[in-house]
A and B are shown apart, each in its own frame.
Chain A
Amino acid sequence: MSNWLEIGNIEDIPKLGARVVKTVEGDVAVFRTANDEIFALRDQCPHKKGPLSQGIVHGKRVTCPMHNWVIELADGQAVAPDEGCAGVYKIMLEEGRILLSLKKNITEMRELP
């Protein structure tokens, strides 16, 4: 059973924006899209660890502020031709409240050469 943690309300994150949750596992970036979908990634770009929470959000993607890699919010994968993955966390909305599970989901972090 995953242990869900309530981290706030959807209104706390601006549309097309992100906020950071500071956890024992490091910073987690929580994103809100134009259609009020919520995603959570580890706040480290697979390129050179840029803080993804500081990027520009568009569609279901975020552009890293450091060197403009584009990362998919749903699975944390870098958009081709770049390669790499930021870890993804399970997250859900319950009547406007955001719940985060710190057990990392699906994808493992892959180190790049």
Chain B
Amino acid sequence: MKEKLVLIGNGMAGVRTLEELLKIAPDKYDITVFGAEPFGNYNRILLSPVLSGEKTLDDIMLNDLQWYQDNNITLHAGKWVTDINRARRTVSAEDGTVETYDRLLLSTGSSPFIIPVPGNHFEGVISFRDIHDVNAMLEASKTHKRAVVIGGGLLGLEAANGLMLQGMDVTVVHLMDTLMERQLDKPAAALLKQALEGRGLNFLMEAQTEAILGKERVSGIRFKDGLEIPADLIVMAVGIRPNTALAEKTGLYCERGVVVNDTMQTYDPRIYAIGECVQHREITYGLVAPLFEMAKVCANHLAHLGYSRYEGSVISTKLKVTGIDLFSAGDFHGDETTEDVVVKDAARGIYKKLVLKDNRIHGAVLYGDTIDGSWYFQLMRDGTNVSDFRDQLLFGQGHLGDSGHSGKNAASAMTDDMEVCGCNGVCKGDVVNAITQKGLFTLDDVRTHTKASSSCGSCTGLVEQILMSTLGNDYSEAPAKKPLCKCTDYSHEEVRRVIREQHLISIPDVMAYMEWGNADGCHVCRPALNYYLISTWPGEVEDDYQSRFINERVHANIQKDGTYSVIPRMWGGLTNPSELRAIADVADKFAIPTVKVTGGQRIDLLGVKKEDLPGVWKDLNKAGMVSGHAYGKSLRTVKTCVGSEWCRFGTQASMGMGIQLEKITWGSWTPHKFKMAVSGCPRNCAEATIKDFGVVAVDSGWELHVGGNGGVKVRATDLLCKVKTEQEVTEYCAAFLQLYREEGHYLERTAPWIERVGLSYIKKQVVEDKNNRKALHERFLKSQQYAQQDPWAERVDKGVDKHEFTPLKEGG
């Protein structure tokens, strides 16, 4: 018989736990839910836009009654639980309903704090917590004019803004001299106050409420200093208290909240608790991001998997007032041990402050321009050392190196019909609708549902910003550690380490050893594992053909119509009449429709039929040409300029240098594609400073540049070092390439890799530590012994993968 699970509290944290549980153990429990509110589960966060009239109640349902039915969950909606009998393991509700449990999940949320002043029970005094409150406010706004909101925090300001948009005159009363003092420092709070005043809100700062005036219905409010102002509606938004009454009554240990351990278990092992009602490691939370992390962990234990732990959360916040951009995270006040980095431009309404400690971000406040909020938050949670780009930090991620096509717009300034994602044609309105109507919370959710940010990724910052302004916090799952894919919880590093330490040599071995979630993985992990294996154990591991993307399987690029393109190598960008003649003949013989010069200094034959590929290769091979790997996560091109061989300004022989580099490195598999260029003088006609490895000749030798990228987001290289001889150029190049091959994450170009590990680290490994450089160089040459075989020739001469190029059967 199935075990019985009872959930008390039909709110965001509780139901999220059920969702997570159903994903991993759908048949484990008979589930029963008690909820005091007479609805399914709705998105409490979005009560603010409901109040302001931007959303309706229907828009914000996360799980309607049908969902409970579909998942065989018994829902007691509108029933208040009054008792838990831990000895008999029963739960009873006000109306007499009794349910027994094997495991119990408490998720009772919190209640608004009501200030203990005379008159606080009058009609017209309400809090801001649930649908009932919002309806009461909407009602009041139809018949009354003057509202006072007590509390100038997140909730208070959202309530005030909403009531104002419903046509009321609103005064916000705050005890402190700064708005949102828990999220903002003084300068940012001042800008916010100014902006809200500009929209028509009134503020009364440093005002302490003494009494609420009226008879049955509220008529006004009096402060300690004697001031009285009239009011028809008073909203108390001064804070929340975890709902521990039920837990305390049944004798569970509580402090400020129900105390839980890292598995979300209370002092009674059969009872788990999550959400705003709990206290974990001394902390109580009031935003959904940490609650959802708790939900994941709790589900893991309810499912008896038992390996996941909740270790606390770092949170960030955002005010959900349309048109106002602010972001705050971490310790943004700082102390004697920290340093502030600040920009303030009052005319543009922009303020940014980062608090650094030992070159690591400890806190951030952004006002007016929050596009980089998620980036700072990521750096903060990862504890990244920012010293290599500290001078650029405040200008934002888009300005690291040079800026390319990275999202620059402030999300709040965009109208609904403006395009967010240029690859998939997704507009801001589409993203917002998906978030609210489909109940999305993470970047990943938005990617799968709208496709925004799922292709080139350059609009990721913008999408995160829209998520933030819609949901009020930055909910990016799994803080510092990103799992390799959905089949595992292990990160790229962990997988690589295990492959090395355990000497694993096949994909099934890795999956068995690391307890992969899906029997043969998915299209994300298999290519990554294959690369990690062949780069760790060259010569020993057999390449897993079926784990390669089609282009790498057939050594050509698939085109939109299912035909292929073929690009032979042109060493260093050089060719000659006989090669050109052979290319022309091939194009004629196979009726190839398009012949094009690529951006990588070679020639592309486009529109080749799959079954013609071996024939095309055969003829190209005959003329001495080999595969250009234009399809591979591998060495691509080495562009060169004419250099001292011809150019009147050339200082070194760049064509020769380029050819040498390409001869040494061709055929090597890399985490992502790898491009090089050699320029003969600092005029840099080969554009070496936007390549993964770029060489610029100078009179006294060669400058070596690394980490450039010309794609989605242009990044100029960092200077690695200067060397004198050609032999040094090739040695440093091979060492750098090998370090990247050993440590880069699959599908991470050198540019983001360097930003992740820091240029100083790379200099240390490749430049300063001579022995290490030599060792890297040697390991690279060793792996090249196995890699430098022309894949085209193998298919033409040795009949490798013959089945790939012929249909199984024709006719029928």
Contact = CB atoms under 8 A, between A and B. Distances in A.
Given A54-B558, A55-B550, A63 B811 contact: no
A51 B558 CA distance: 10
Interface string B334-364: 0000000000000000000000000000000
A85 interface: no
With a 10 A CB-CB cut-off, give which of B520, B527, B546, B808 has the most chain A CB atoms: B808
A13 interface: yes
B549 A34 contact: no
A63 B520 contact: no
7 contacts: A5-B809, A12-B803, A20-B807, A20-B808, A56-B527, A56-B547, A58-B518
Interface of A: 5, 7-8, 12-17, 19-24, 30, 34, 48, 50-51, 54-59, 63, 65-68, 70, 81, 100, 102
B220 interface: no
Interface size class of B (residues with CB under 8 A): 20 to 34
B318 interface: no
Nearest to B518: A59
Contacts of B518: 58-59
A22 B809 contact: yes
A56 B808 contact: no
Given A14-B545, A65-B558, A81-B449, A58 B808 contact: no
Contact of A58 (B521, B549, B809): B521
A15 B281 CA distance: 50
A80 to B, nearest CB: 9
Contact of B808 (A7, A48, A50, A68): A7
Given A34-B520, A66-B560, A58 B810 contact: no
B812 A102 contact: yes
Contacts of A63: 522-523
A56 B812 contact: no
B520 A21 contact: no
Contacts of A67: 455
A68 B812 contact: no
A65 B808 CA distance: 20
Contacts of B527: 56
Given A21-B809, A102-B812, A59 B520 contact: yes
A19 B805 CA distance: 9
Interface string B540-561: 0000011101100000001010
Given A12-B803, A57-B546, A58-B526, A34 B519 contact: yes
Interface in B793-812: 803, 807-812
Nearest to A25: B812
Contacts of B449: 81
Contacts of A68: 523
B578 interface: no
B599 interface: no
B117 to A, nearest CB: 50
Nearest to B551: A65
B523 A19 contact: no
A19 B526 contact: no
Contacts of B523: 55-56, 58, 63, 68, 70
Given A7-B808, A55-B550, A66-B558, 13 more contacts: A5-B812, A12-B808, A21-B809, A22-B812, A30-B808, A34-B519, A54-B550, A55-B523, A56-B547, A58-B520, A58-B526, A63-B522, A65-B549
A66 B563 CA distance: 12
B604 to A, nearest CB: 19
B803 A7 contact: no
A78 to B, nearest CB: 12
A48 B526 CA distance: 24
A50 B449 CA distance: 20
A57 B523 CA distance: 8
Contacts of A23: 811-812
Contacts of B550: 54-56, 65
B397 to A, nearest CB: 25
Contacts of A102: 812
B808 A13 contact: yes
Interface string B442-463: 0000001100000100000000
Contacts of A70: 523
B593 interface: no
Nearest to A100: B812
Contacts of A30: 808
Given A51-B562, A58-B522, A8 B808 contact: yes
Given A14-B803, A19-B803, A56 B811 contact: no
Contacts of B560: 48, 66
A30 B526 CA distance: 21
B557 to A, nearest CB: 11
A21 B812 contact: yes
B562 A50 contact: yes
A56 B526 contact: yes
Contacts of A58: 518, 520-523, 526
Contacts of A57: 546
A16 B808 CA distance: 15
Contacts of A51: 558, 562
A22 B809 CA distance: 6
